[in-house]
Amino acid sequence: MLLIAHRIFQEQYKDVTANFPTVKNSLDKQLEKAAADPYNAGEQLRDIADENLRQKLFKIWVRGENLPKNKGHRLLYLVVKAKKCVLPFFISPRPRDSFSYDDFDWEEAAKQVYGDLTAGKLDEFVVFTPWQV
Protein backbone atom coordinates (compact mmCIF):
# COMPACT_ATOMS: atom_id res chain seq x y z
CA MET A 1 0.00 0.00 0.00
CA LEU A 2 1.04 3.58 -0.51
CA LEU A 3 2.41 5.33 2.57
CA ILE A 4 0.99 8.85 2.77
CA ALA A 5 1.88 11.31 5.51
CA HIS A 6 -0.30 14.17 6.70
CA ARG A 7 1.54 17.41 7.48
CA ILE A 8 0.97 16.74 11.20
CA PHE A 9 2.93 13.49 11.04
CA GLN A 10 5.65 15.04 8.88
CA GLU A 11 6.37 17.52 11.69
CA GLN A 12 6.32 14.77 14.33
CA TYR A 13 8.72 12.70 12.22
CA LYS A 14 11.15 15.61 11.86
CA ASP A 15 11.04 16.35 15.60
CA VAL A 16 11.47 12.75 16.76
CA THR A 17 14.31 11.96 14.34
CA ALA A 18 16.08 15.24 15.23
CA ASN A 19 15.72 14.68 19.00
CA PHE A 20 16.42 10.92 18.87
CA PRO A 21 18.61 10.27 15.81
CA THR A 22 19.19 6.63 16.79
CA VAL A 23 15.47 5.91 16.34
CA LYS A 24 15.36 6.94 12.65
CA ASN A 25 16.39 3.57 11.17
CA SER A 26 13.88 1.68 13.33
CA LEU A 27 11.11 4.18 12.60
CA ASP A 28 11.75 3.98 8.87
CA LYS A 29 11.76 0.18 9.02
CA GLN A 30 8.43 0.11 10.91
CA LEU A 31 6.88 2.56 8.43
CA GLU A 32 8.06 0.34 5.58
CA LYS A 33 6.55 -2.73 7.29
CA ALA A 34 3.26 -0.89 7.85
CA ALA A 35 3.10 0.05 4.17
CA ALA A 36 3.99 -3.47 3.00
CA ASP A 37 1.65 -5.41 5.28
CA PRO A 38 -0.43 -3.00 7.39
CA TYR A 39 -2.73 -5.57 8.97
CA ASN A 40 0.11 -7.76 10.26
CA ALA A 41 2.81 -5.17 10.96
CA GLY A 42 0.99 -3.66 13.93
CA GLU A 43 -1.67 -4.46 16.45
CA GLN A 44 -5.20 -3.22 15.86
CA LEU A 45 -6.48 -0.59 18.31
CA ARG A 46 -9.70 -1.54 20.08
CA ASP A 47 -12.66 0.37 21.53
CA ILE A 48 -12.80 2.99 18.79
CA ALA A 49 -15.72 5.37 19.29
CA ASP A 50 -15.87 6.63 15.70
CA GLU A 51 -17.56 4.03 13.50
CA ASN A 52 -15.62 5.22 10.41
CA LEU A 53 -12.31 4.42 12.11
CA ARG A 54 -13.10 0.98 13.52
CA GLN A 55 -10.76 -1.75 12.29
CA LYS A 56 -8.58 0.88 10.58
CA LEU A 57 -6.28 2.00 13.40
CA PHE A 58 -3.09 0.17 14.38
CA LYS A 59 -0.16 0.59 16.77
CA ILE A 60 3.42 -0.54 16.60
CA TRP A 61 6.50 -0.09 18.82
CA VAL A 62 9.53 1.69 17.40
CA ARG A 63 12.82 1.03 19.15
CA GLY A 64 16.04 2.84 18.50
CA GLU A 65 19.53 1.61 19.17
CA ASN A 66 20.31 0.65 22.77
CA LEU A 67 16.67 0.54 23.88
CA PRO A 68 15.37 -2.61 25.55
CA LYS A 69 12.29 -4.46 24.33
CA ASN A 70 9.00 -2.67 25.11
CA LYS A 71 10.74 0.65 25.57
CA GLY A 72 10.63 3.02 22.69
CA HIS A 73 8.26 5.19 20.72
CA ARG A 74 4.70 4.32 19.83
CA LEU A 75 3.69 4.70 16.16
CA LEU A 76 -0.02 4.88 15.32
CA TYR A 77 -1.30 4.52 11.77
CA LEU A 78 -4.53 4.41 9.83
CA VAL A 79 -5.26 1.95 7.00
CA VAL A 80 -7.69 3.09 4.29
CA LYS A 81 -8.25 0.00 2.20
CA ALA A 82 -10.55 1.78 -0.29
CA LYS A 83 -7.77 4.27 -1.09
CA LYS A 84 -5.03 1.61 -0.88
CA CYS A 85 -3.00 3.66 1.56
CA VAL A 86 -1.47 3.70 5.04
CA LEU A 87 -1.39 6.99 6.92
CA PRO A 88 0.84 7.30 9.99
CA PHE A 89 -0.71 9.92 12.26
CA PHE A 90 1.26 9.82 15.51
CA ILE A 91 4.72 9.01 16.83
CA SER A 92 5.27 9.52 20.55
CA PRO A 93 7.71 12.38 21.15
CA ARG A 94 9.89 10.49 23.65
CA PRO A 95 10.76 6.88 24.40
CA ARG A 96 8.88 5.20 27.18
CA ASP A 97 8.24 1.76 28.53
CA SER A 98 4.49 2.24 28.59
CA PHE A 99 2.39 4.39 26.34
CA SER A 100 -0.54 6.23 27.90
CA TYR A 101 -3.28 6.96 25.43
CA ASP A 102 -4.45 9.66 27.87
CA ASP A 103 -1.43 11.81 26.97
CA PHE A 104 -2.62 12.44 23.41
CA ASP A 105 -6.04 12.63 21.76
CA TRP A 106 -5.07 10.02 19.18
CA GLU A 107 -8.61 9.29 18.03
CA GLU A 108 -9.20 12.97 17.25
CA ALA A 109 -5.92 13.09 15.30
CA ALA A 110 -6.96 10.01 13.33
CA LYS A 111 -10.36 11.61 12.64
CA GLN A 112 -8.70 14.75 11.30
CA VAL A 113 -6.35 12.80 9.02
CA TYR A 114 -9.16 10.53 7.78
CA GLY A 115 -11.46 13.54 7.32
CA ASP A 116 -8.87 15.46 5.31
CA LEU A 117 -8.27 12.43 3.10
CA THR A 118 -11.93 11.69 2.45
CA ALA A 119 -12.68 15.40 1.91
CA GLY A 120 -10.02 15.49 -0.82
CA LYS A 121 -7.70 17.92 0.99
CA LEU A 122 -4.73 16.39 -0.78
CA ASP A 123 -2.51 19.44 -0.21
CA GLU A 124 -2.26 18.26 3.41
CA PHE A 125 -0.49 15.03 2.37
CA VAL A 126 2.70 13.79 0.71
CA VAL A 127 3.76 10.35 -0.45
CA PHE A 128 6.17 9.40 2.32
CA THR A 129 9.11 7.10 1.66
CA PRO A 130 11.76 8.06 4.24
CA TRP A 131 13.61 4.74 3.93
CA GLN A 132 14.46 5.61 0.32
CA VAL A 133 16.18 8.89 1.31
pLDDT value at residue 29: 93
Q: Contact, 67 vs 95, CB < 8 A?
A: yes
- Residue 32 maps to a domain: yes
Q: Which pLDDT tens digits describe the chain residue by residue (133 residues)? A: 999 999 989 999 999 999 989 899 999 999 999 999 999 999 999 989 999 999 999 999 898 777 777 778 899 999 999 989 999 999 998 887 766 767 788 899 999 999 999 999 989 998 888 755 4
Residue 115: give its domain's CATH number.
Answer: 3.30.2310.20
Domain with 33, as residue range(s), is 2-124
Q: Could you tell me if residue 55 is inside a domain?
A: yes
Rounded distance between C-alpha atoms, residue 115 and residue 128, angstroms: 19
Please give the model's pTM, rounded to 2 decimal places.
0.89
Tell me the backbone φ, ψ of residue 42, rounded to 5 degrees.
-125, 180
| pLDDT (tens digit per residue) in 37-65 | 999 999 999 989 999 999 999 999 898 77
Say which DSSP state 131 is in. G
With respect to residue 98, please indicate whether it lies within any of the assigned structural domains: yes
pLDDT of residue 131: 58
CB 93 within 8 A of CB 12: yes
How many structural domains are present in the chain? 1
Residue 129 belongs to some domain of the structure: no
User: What's the confidence (pLDDT) of residue 101?
Assistant: 67
Residue 133 lies in a domain: no
In a domain, 132, yes or no: no
| Residue 20 counted as domain residue | yes
Q: Which helix (H) or strand (E) holds 102?
A: none
Cα(77)–Cα(106) distance, rounded to whole angstroms? 10
Nearest to 5 by CA among 119, 133, 116: 116
For residue 130, is it within any domain? no
Provide the b/e sequence for 4-41 (b: ≥16 CB within 10 Å): bbbebbbebbeebbeebeebbebbbebbbebbeebeeb
Q: What's the pLDDT score for residue 98?
A: 64
